[in-house]
Amino acid sequence: MPRVAFTRNLQRHVACPPCVVAGATVRESLEAAFASYPKLRGYVLDEHGVLRFHMAVFVDGVPIEDRRGLGDPVSESAEICVMQALSGG
């Protein structure tokens, strides 16, 4: 099952420990994580479910293509990293 890890800078604001989730896409995987930590959603996605402009998501080290739909596929062993983009610093 995919593993999702969040930038440590997010953990200052909201609980978001690394978690193993069920999901075949980035969207499904993140939604599974948000189900455990509901406040986390608004820090990563905007009110329309779009990845925030200054956030970045990597799947096995590769930035995702679909920042709006989060439809990028993830494998059973995928490592999903939710990071800050330097642009927002």
Partner 1 sequence: MSDQLLISTRKGLFSARRTGKGAWALENVFFLGDNVSLTMQDPRDGAWYAALDHGHFGAKLHRSRDRGATWEEIGVPAYPAPPEGHVEKDFLGREIPWRLIRFWCLTPGLTSQPGLLWAGTLPGGLFWSEDLGATWQMVESLWNMPERRKWAGGGADVPGIHSVCVDPRNGDRVVVAVSSGGVWVTTDLGQTWTARTKGMRADYAPPELVEAPESQDPHRLVQCPARPDHWWVQHHNGIFRSTDDAMSWTEITDVKPSVFGFPVVVHPKDPDTAWFVPAIKDEKRIPAEGRVVVNRTRDGGRSFETLHKGLPQGWAYDLVYRHALDLDASGERLAFGSTTGSVWISENQGDDWLTLAEHLPPVHAVAFV
Confirm or reject binding of residue 37 to partner 1 (CB under 8 A).
no
Confirm or reject binding of residue 13 to partner 1 (CB under 8 A).
yes
Bridge partners of residue 82, in order along the sequence: 6, 57
Give min distance, CB of 64 to partner 1, in A. Answer: 16
Tokens in use for 54?
A: 């200054």
Give min distance, CB of 10 to partner 1, in A. Answer: 7
Distance CA 84, CA 28 (A): 20
Closest CA to 20 of 82, 68, 80: 80
Confirm or reject binding of residue 8 to partner 1 (CB under 8 A).
no
Q: Is 67 left (phi over 0), alpha (psi -120 to 50) or beta?
A: alpha
- Among residue numbers 41 through 60, which ones bind partner 1 (CB under 8 A)? 42-44, 46-48, 50, 52, 54-55
- Contact residues: partner 1, CB under 8 A: 9-10, 13-14, 39, 42-44, 46-48, 50, 52, 54-55, 84-85, 88-89
